[in-house]
Chain A
Amino acid sequence: MKPEERQEQMFLSWLSGKGIEFANPQAEKDYKERVMRLKEAIQLKGPPDRVPVCPLTGLFPVYYSGITVEEAMYDYDKAADAWKKYVLDFKPDAYVGTVFVPPGRFFEVLDYKIYRWPGHGVPPDISYQFLEAEYMKADEYDTLIQDPSDFWLRSYFPRIFGVLKPFAKLAPFTEVLEMVMTCGSFIPFGLPEVQAAFKALFAAGEEACRWAATGRAVDRALQGRGFPALVGGISKAPFDIIGDTLRGTRGIITDMYRRPEKLLQALEAVVPLAIRMGVSSAGAAGHPLVFMPLHKGADGFLSGKQFATFYWPTLRKVIIGLIEEGMVPFLFAEGSYNSRLEIIRNLPRGRTVWLFDQTDMAEAKEILGDIACIAGNVPITLLTLGTADEVKEYCRRLLKTAGKDGGFILSSGVAIDNIRPENMRALIETAKESGNYF
């Protein structure tokens, strides 16, 4: 099957709503109209009936429903109610699911080290925060390149999960070969501390299951009422995989100067892993869109040359790999991407979505408009501090420039947490009032 046929099949799977119990015929009709609207905006085969509007909500449902972030992370039912309330009250064309409220107890069980969250270093009503450090050392590139999974299991896990520290004692699984080369690898499983770590894993797994079940119930309820999920799967750019949670900002920057060859090899090594991650998550959801938050590629952070050397080549490989499997990478370009627009144009037409934050949207439309659906970029500052009228005014201008002739999804520039409800309403209403193509 050709990539475009695969993509069509993935879209049809999403559109069919197979397995969804619709509340009534109207809900089914609404669901299909909404998916169709997104499909047409993305494939660039002519404009949909109107501009789809899909705010990139982060913790907005939490704040809107009046619960704390802590409650949402610990009481899954409360989070579920918050999500249903947000979607049913505001009626966006697609919603971002509950993945933004990860389960607090799960992280407690594993003694997760690399974030703070409510009750663990931040107040109850503040979002979780990443604690950057070198969780992978500069001299560990070869270990990562040779056997990424082994690196994750025996070097990375013991650092990021306090409870899994004993995993450093495990033996590499690839040493299980002949009968006489087997038992040795299992000795670590007999150690009490390793066994304790596994017991904690079971408990963590049970918690993850409980959390996921609530998430699925939310999806069933909302889709049954006619609202599709915005994305099916998730993945990351290789540069961010290594730069965010492994080497850290300072680590990866210095690596570009001090050990560029190793860094490039490592970036290549994680390409297939990033493709697999996107394909398996979106495949399981039967939904082609793969969300990819882009962090360290923004203007100002890397030079044009560094972007073209270290960031883009492997990101492009992941994008193409996903497209070949019929997926639609949904790239969330944080910061601004003005100087990157020409280079990212080098992609097949109608196969990606680019959600921009501070990028000049008229420019993005001009340069990227015939290649990709663009999305964004109502500024979070405006949504937070502006009035509803100002939000509407901004959205109308966007619809005229970026929305011209289709290929556009109206959204916020970054994830929305705590904004006034009337501004959310203004954002969504403007698409419905002023976003019609016919």
Chain B
Amino acid sequence: MGPLTLAMAELEEKKVLELVRKAIGEDKSPLEIVEECRQGLKIVGERYATGEYFLSDLVMSAEIFQEALKVLEPFLSVAAVFPENPGEADIVFGTVEGDIHDIGKNITISLLRCEGFRVYDAGVDIPPDIFLNIVQETGARVLGLSALLTSSFESMRRTVQLIRMLPPVHGVKVLIGGLVNERVCQYVGADAWVREAMEGVAICRRWLGMKVLVSKK
């Protein structure tokens, strides 16, 4: 395990950022740096699964990763997409209207960005029409929706309905996560559902192909 992976796994933010800057200075490939961070995030996830880490640690790990990405952003060939500059995105991701739970969303976005996907984080409590606008603006082919409240399944459904009204050329697929299951997936009309971030990443990889990762050495 490299020092960057270790610092990430130990949630040492300052050290992570220092090591990232140092690696950039040494002309290391940005994607390699991202990969080291991701290994660290994976360890965090494992420690959470075994009960060694807690929700607080998960939240912090996503936070540190976002900070590392900000440092790396100018050097990435596939720029991370931030709300300040929508540009093009592969995936639009957000929490549906009426719901502000975003811990799971943020973790999943971190992992997707690790994989090199350009993810647009739409934020929380996003009405259907805003989702539609963002999907059109960014040309994203995957829409990731998060919901943890039973009462927000309805807005999830309305969002999917709106997206389905786009002409077929867009071919937008909808992936949902959070407190969802097969019944919810059918009810809202999504293409797939997950309860776990890594499964979501695997699905996105399947849907979007690995095109982004080929640039990795």
Contact = CB atoms under 8 A, between A and B. Distances in A.
- The answer on A and B forming one complex is yes
Interface residues of A, number: 21
A124 to B, nearest CB: 12
Given A122-B151, A254-B63, A257-B13, A129 B56 contact: no
Interface stretch (A50-58, A178-186, A301-309, A394-402): A301-309
Contact of A126 (B60, B125, B151): B151
B105 to A, nearest CB: 11
Nearest to B54: A303
A119 interface: no
B205 to A, nearest CB: 27
B189 interface: no
A301 B51 CA distance: 11
A172 interface: no
B145 to A, nearest CB: 18
Nearest to B101: A132
A205 interface: no
Interface in A243-280: 249-250, 253-254, 256-258
A24 B63 CA distance: 62
A253 B102 CA distance: 14
B60 A257 contact: yes
Given A116-B98, A122-B98, A250-B63, A258 B55 contact: no
A300 B55 contact: yes
Interface in A97-139: 116, 121-123, 126, 129, 131-133
A301 B56 contact: yes
Nearest to A307: B54
Q: Max chain A CB contacts within 10 Å: which of B53, B54, B57, B102?
A: B54
Interface string A367-401: 00000000000000000000000000000000000
Contacts, number: 44
Contacts of A254: 59-60, 63
A203 B10 CA distance: 53
Contact of B60 (A132, A253, A300): A253
Contact of B56 (A116, A121, A132, A256): A256
Contacts of B23: none
A131 B152 CA distance: 14
Interface string B144-161: 000001010000000000
B103 interface: yes
A253 B13 contact: no
A306 B11 CA distance: 14
B100 interface: yes
Nearest to B51: A300
A249 B63 CA distance: 13
B56 A306 contact: yes
Given A250-B103, A257-B11, A257-B13, A300 B59 contact: no
Nearest to B154: A123
B100 A301 contact: no
B151 A253 contact: no
A312 to B, nearest CB: 15
Contacts of A133: 100
Contacts of A121: 98
Given A121-B98, A256-B56, A301-B55, 5 more contacts: A249-B59, A250-B59, A253-B59, A254-B63, A257-B13
7 A-B pairs with the lowest CB-CB distances in the bound complex, closest first = A253-B59, A253-B56, A303-B54, A301-B55, A257-B60, A132-B100, A302-B56
Interface of B: 11, 13, 53-57, 59-60, 63, 98, 100, 102-103, 125, 149, 151
Interface of A: 116, 121-123, 126, 129, 131-133, 249-250, 253-254, 256-258, 300-303, 306
15 contacts: A116-B98, A121-B98, A122-B98, A129-B149, A131-B100, A132-B100, A249-B59, A250-B103, A257-B11, A258-B13, A302-B55, A303-B54, A303-B56, A303-B57, A306-B54
